[in-house]
């Protein structure tokens, strides 16, 4: 008499496949965030969130530039509105924001465009307006901006930030 295990193996294989399918769809224990996409790209909602996070960091208690600086890549380049640049790296960027935060800036996006870019890079450009305190008076300062983000270590960081005064209507370029 011949002994065969095929029917029993088929039954076990079905169970194993079913368990693997269930486990593949289950979140990992303790996982807080979704797995990062293989090719993260910039979207309108993401651009809004990144700007909102940066804007909130500008309003940190005690005018602390550290919260702003942590949003920039270590070798980031800043071409600021209110100072000559380029400012490269955290130390120079921190120095700029230490002074800029004294004006109690609050930014507002007036227009935003997402520029197509490859994986792990996001390019956002447009117009924004800042409310600043200048000589104890709140003023609106319109400006142009470009942010180039890089996706590193599971986070979007600012690699390049260009902000420049918007010409007043009727001014020659």
DSSP 51-75: HHHHHHHHT-GGG-THHHHTTEEEE
Tell me, what's the pLDDT at 129? Answer: 96
- Residue 31: pLDDT above 70? no
Confirm whether 10 is domain-assigned.
Answer: no
Confirm whether 79 is domain-assigned.
Answer: yes
- Residue 1: pLDDT above 70? no
Confirm whether 137 is domain-assigned.
Answer: yes
> Residue 126's domain spans which residues?
44-165
Confirm whether 2 is domain-assigned.
Answer: no
Token pair 């602390």 is found at 64
Tell me, what's the pLDDT at 90? Answer: 98
Confirm whether 6 is domain-assigned.
Answer: no
- Residue 20: pLDDT above 80? no
Confirm whether 115 is domain-assigned.
Answer: yes
Percent of the chain with pLDDT over 90: 67
Question: With bands split at pLDDT 50, 70 and 90, how would you rate the model's confidence at 24?
Answer: very low
Helix-then-strand count for the chain, H and E: 4, 6
Show the tokens assigned to 95.
């120095």
Confirm whether 82 is domain-assigned.
Answer: yes
The domain total for the chain is 1
What is the C-alpha to C-alpha distance for residues 86 and 164, in angstroms, rounded to an integer? 12
What is the C-alpha to C-alpha distance for residues 53 and 144, in angstroms, rounded to an integer? 19
User: What is the CATH classification number for the domain harbouring 129?
Assistant: 3.10.450.50
Question: With bands split at pLDDT 50, 70 and 90, how would you rate the model's confidence at 77?
Answer: very high
Tell me, what's the pLDDT at 36? Answer: 56
- Residue 126: pLDDT above 60? yes
Percent of the chain with pLDDT over 70: 76
Confirm whether 55 is domain-assigned.
Answer: yes
Tell me, what's the pLDDT at 33? Answer: 52
What is the C-alpha to C-alpha distance for residues 15 and 126, in angstroms, rounded to an integer? 55
Q: What would the mean pLDDT of 136-143 be, rounded to a whole number?
A: 95
Instruction: Between 143 and 171, name the one with better pLDDT.
Output: 143
**Which distant-in-sequence residues (6+ apart) come within 8 Å of 25 by Cβ?**
none
């Amino acid at each position: 008499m011949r002994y065969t295990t095929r029917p029993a193996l088929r039954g076990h294989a079905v169970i194993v496949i079913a368990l693997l399918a269930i486990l593949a769809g289950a979140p990992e224990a303790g996982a807080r965030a979704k797995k990062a996409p293989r090719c993260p790209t910039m979207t309108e909602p993401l651009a809004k969130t990144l700007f909102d996070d940066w804007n909130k960091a500008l309003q940190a208690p005690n005018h602390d530039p550290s919260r702003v600086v942590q949003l920039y890549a270590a070798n980031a380049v800043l071409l600021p509105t209110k100072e000559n640049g380029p400012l490269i790296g955290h130390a120079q960027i921190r120095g700029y924001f230490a002074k800029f935060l004294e004006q109690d800036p609050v930014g507002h996006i007036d227009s935003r465009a997402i520029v197509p870019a490859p994986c792990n890079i996001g390019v956002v450009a447009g117009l924004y307006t800042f409310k600043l305190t200048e000589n104890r008076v709140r003023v609106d300062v319109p400006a142009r901006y470009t942010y180039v983000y890089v996706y590193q270590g599971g986070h979007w960081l600012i690699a390049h930030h260009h902000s420049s005064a918007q010409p007043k209507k009727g001014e020659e370029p």
